[in-house]
Structure 1
């Protein structure tokens, strides 16, 4: 069944888009990641323009985050005060990202910029994830027990002035650090259409030293509001949000996440992380090849 995407200005097979959303949702449910960092590359591979793919993926992440936020709020696993600081930084970052997006659009380099950022980002994440999971598997086979992680914030964070108490996170740090972290993720969300959880969660654990039980819920809290702001900014400035595309992705991702959550119970987490690392690296390599290949049509005509 073909559907016309009004913003992308092309017809797509609805079942293929739902399938792509389902695949991302499946990975999300299996590996405990948002999956948004794979949505945009997969849409680009299918032929969706990178600008529309990035803008629409952000709106899909918003919808997918709602149920997760309410579930964590119900369990008391969200640090509201920390989340609000992260959201404030994220909204400012999204505004900065909107300016960068429009600038890159005006000089005709936005597609290349999105591709390069994804290659660097996915390549780095994939290599780090592969190294960590392989080390965990080798240690498991040698019978070594994993070391308990000491919870502490980074010395640079400790040196910042004007400290606040974040009781739920068990922290007494400056709000400047989470504000800057939120701002960086807001810029990334605006440019790439990702939730930013793959940046937020490790940074909250290893830089801010937050309590593990509130990290995921607080991250989802920030992602929900920042992707909402990002979708609004895209709608007003770039006009690249395709709601038909976002709804198709959302239908697939919600279904896929449920299936993935059940499958994750059947495999060891160490092997799941290796598998995810391989997927991320394959997507990064494919993006890099796409940047180097000569397209079938060197010139395109766009009606403004």
Structure 2
């Protein structure tokens, strides 16, 4: 069933969009990522303009993350206080990101920036996660016997001022690193249309030292407000939010997130991380291939410049 998307100015199959939303919702529930880092490139692949994909995808992330948070809330695996601190940084970052996005849009460079940002970030994060999680898997197999809980080493995060106690995570650390992590994710949410979970989750585990079981729910909690704010800024300053596209992705995403949360509880944390890293690298490879092997782009630029 083909439907016409007025803002994106393309016709797409409605069932395909529902399916994409559902698939990304499953990932959102499983890994604690908004899923935008996969959905936005998938929208590029089916012909949605990057600027519209970014702004609309931020909207869809709000719903699938909210759905995922409810499931984690029932299990008491959401650190509300940490989520609030991360959100403060996220809102500042989102405002800065939209300013950069608007500036590049006025110069006509925004589509290329979005694609290149994806290739760079997905490549770096995917590689690091893949190497680390394979190591973790190997260690968990080697230590098949009863394992002593690993106490995290004190790192630079513990030496900064303005400390706060985060009871759910069992941490007593400075609020500055969570705010900085939140800001970085906010900028990414605005420029790339992502919840930032693919950076947020590793940062919460390795930089802030949070236990894996509360990371997923807290990450989704932080993503909600930041992406809602980003969507609002894009809608009011850029007019690039396509509501018809958003609604179809939302419906699929909300259903998928509940399923994903159920699947996530049945897999080990190390297995989840390997799977997520593999997915990230797969999408990165496809995007890089499209950037390098796309003669149609070169041809259209040549003809529009009138130098043919």
Alpha-carbon shift at residue 159 of structure 1 (Å): 3.0
Match of residue 170 from structure 2: 170
| Structure-to-structure mapping, 1:216-231, within 5 angstroms | 216-231=216-231
What is the distance in 1 between the residues matched to 2:91 and 2:264? 34
Does 2:42 correspond to 1:37?
no
What is the distance in 2 between the residues matched to 1:16 and 1:175? 42
Deviations 1:203-252 (A, max 9, x none): 22221223444332222221111111011111111111111111111222
Structure 2: which 5+ runs fail to align?
none
What is the distance in 1 between the residues matched to 2:245 and 2:274? 30
SS at match of 1:173: strand
Residues 249-258 or 261-270, more deviating = 261-270
| Structure-to-structure mapping, 1:1-304, within 5 angstroms | 1-31=1-31, 33-139=33-139, 148-152=149-153, 154-155=155-156, 157-260=157-260, 273-292=273-292, 293-295=294-296, 297-299=299-301
Residues 42-51 or 24-33, more deviating = 24-33
SS at match of 1:172: strand
What is the distance in 1 between the residues matched to 2:43 and 2:234? 17
Structure 1: which 5+ runs fail to align?
none
What is the distance in 1 between the residues matched to 2:271 and 2:149? 20
TM-score, with structure 2 as normaliser: 0.85
Report the CA distance shift for 1:95/1:30 in structure 2 as closer, same or farther (over 3 A): closer
Q: RMSD across aligned C-alpha pairs, in angstroms?
A: 2.7
CA contact (8 A) 1:151 1:211 kept: no
Report the CA distance shift for 1:244/1:122 in structure 2 as closer, same or farther (over 3 A): same
How many residues are aligned here?
300
Report the CA distance shift for 1:166/1:266 in structure 2 as closer, same or farther (over 3 A): closer
Report the CA distance shift for 1:107/1:153 in structure 2 as closer, same or farther (over 3 A): farther
